[in-house]
Chain A
């Protein structure tokens, strides 16, 4: 069965510091991987996605993620965070070959220290 683990429930980083949010997945087929961000009271906004090709993918707002098949990981990174990055971040996995459901992790809440 497919699953997503985000081991960090809550992370606090200083403004201007680098960020890495962890995501591990379990999936039997070629995965289709996503990172979404959710601000309070808002819907989910797609940051980036990976389905094939270069394992380092660039997204919006200066985020990037690296797919590592050997580690079943898809960690999200940003070199320098801004106060506006404070939000909930969700990793998700789906099946590449069809437009079927995607499964979400439980999320990581990011707080920014001034």
Chain B
């Protein structure tokens, strides 16, 4: 597609429930990033893939957060046993290889944990 597609657009989860958020990057984009944006804050880095390899997961807040990109295209961010503090917008971005390209972001998934 023409842009980065994220689904679902909104997700309401009960505390303790597992959730899976999907990101479809722009076709051919090698790099894929996940960010978490709490209300009124800037996006915070979670993790980064180059093709199927997860090169940086330093931003994942706990071992309840897990991301994968098994075939180097679609990525899934999974959150186990959701907590209220996980409520945020989760943004996905992709980028072409090379140094002078910007990062294209999706519209995000708004997760609300009740």
B45 at the interface (CB under 8 A from A): yes
Q: Contacts A90-B43, A103-B45, A104-B42 hold; do A46 and B31 have CB atoms under 8 A apart?
A: no
B105, A99: Cβ atoms under 8 Å? no
A67 at the interface (CB under 8 A from B): no
A107 at the interface (CB under 8 A from B): yes
| Bound Cα distance from A44 to B97, whole angstroms | 20
Min Cβ gap B29→A in Å is 10
Q: Which residues of chain B from 47 to 84 have a CB within 8 Å of any chain A CB?
A: 48, 50, 55-56, 59
Q: How many A-B residue pairs have CB under 8 A?
A: 55
B42, A107: Cβ atoms under 8 Å? yes
Q: Contacts A44-B43, A51-B99 hold; do A100 and B56 have CB atoms under 8 A apart?
A: yes
Q: Which residues of chain A from 41 to 96 have a CB within 8 Å of any chain B CB?
A: 42-46, 49, 51, 90, 96
A106, B42: Cβ atoms under 8 Å? yes
| Bound Cα distance from A46 to B106, whole angstroms | 12
CB contact between B95 and one of A36, A99, A106 (< 8 Å): that residue? A99
Number of interface residues of A (CB under 8 A): 24
Min Cβ gap B41→A in Å is 6
Number of interface residues of B (CB under 8 A): 29
| Bound Cα distance from A111 to B80, whole angstroms | 38
B107 at the interface (CB under 8 A from A): yes
A25 at the interface (CB under 8 A from B): no
CB contact between B48 and one of A42, A90, A100 (< 8 Å): that residue? A100
Min Cβ gap B87→A in Å is 15
Min Cβ gap A69→B in Å is 18
Q: List 24 A-B contacts (CB under 8 A).
A: A32-B99, A34-B103, A42-B107, A43-B4, A43-B91, A43-B105, A44-B43, A44-B91, A44-B93, A45-B105, A46-B103, A51-B99, A90-B43, A97-B99, A98-B99, A99-B95, A99-B97, A99-B98, A100-B48, A101-B33, A102-B103, A104-B43, A105-B42, A106-B41
